[in-house]
Structure 1
Amino acid sequence: MIEPTSPGEYLSDFMEGRSNYSIAKESGLSATQIGEIISGKRKITVLTALKLARVFGTSPELWMNLQTKYDLFKAASEHPELVAV
């Protein structure tokens, strides 16, 4: 199974060179929160998904689906005995 791209990597790509501070100012998140999402230290919550969707013109579902797929992959990797064959 191939590891999916993390939500933080997607966020970094969407930022297109803009600073954490710039995205924070537009979204209402803190620059620290943006940095933690990018580094994988913070997950995208429903509220964060709504804010990112507004800034980037995407759907909140995009951000939630990225997080869910990533979380499922990590859980399946850590608990292979729970994965249906």
Structure 2
Amino acid sequence: MDYCCVGRNNNDSVPREVTLLRVKTLMKMANHPRPGDIIQESLDELNVSLREFARAMEIAPSTASRLLTGKAALTPEMAIKLSVVIGSSPQMWLNLQNAWSLAEAEKTVVVSRLRRLVTQ
């Protein structure tokens, strides 16, 4: 299957398989989820607080909050940390951010007056 999952606890005694999303389904969705929403779902399933998440990521709780609410974009550095702390690959996290950012931009960028450059 094409699932992105979290690994095991540090002591490896309790498996914490958490399905974040089905990648193929996500990529087909017209309404792209915000990366912070996916992270929040994972934290809820793991019963992890914002402070615990921030500590695991080695970031300030305020930074974690901005990430979850979409007030801060997911950077490559954050993608690497998320891949370790929650699971999946850094590329998957960046793809989520890019898909969401593009979908948001398409709602606001006015292209009606733009013209394609052509060779003469």
Q: TM-score, normalised by structure 1?
A: 0.86
Runs of 4+ in structure 1 off by over 4 angstroms are none
The equivalent of 1:37 in structure 2 is 67
CA distance in 1, matches of 2:81, 2:57: 5
Q: TM-score, normalised by structure 2?
A: 0.62
Deviation at 1:81, TM superposition (A): 2.2
The equivalent of 1:77 in structure 2 is 107
The equivalent of 2:48 in structure 1 is 18
Structure 1: tracts of 5 or more residues without a match = none
CA RMSD of aligned residues (A): 1.7
Deviation at 1:76, TM superposition (A): 0.9
CA distance in 2, matches of 1:24, 1:61: 21
* Residues 7-47 of structure 1, C-alpha deviations (whole Å, 9 max, x = no match): 11011011123111101111112211111111111110000
Structure 2: tracts of 5 or more residues without a match = 1-28, 113-120
Query: May I ask how many residue pairs the two structures share in their alignment?
Result: 82
Larger relative contact order, structure 1 or 2 (CA cutoff 8 Å, min sep 6): 1
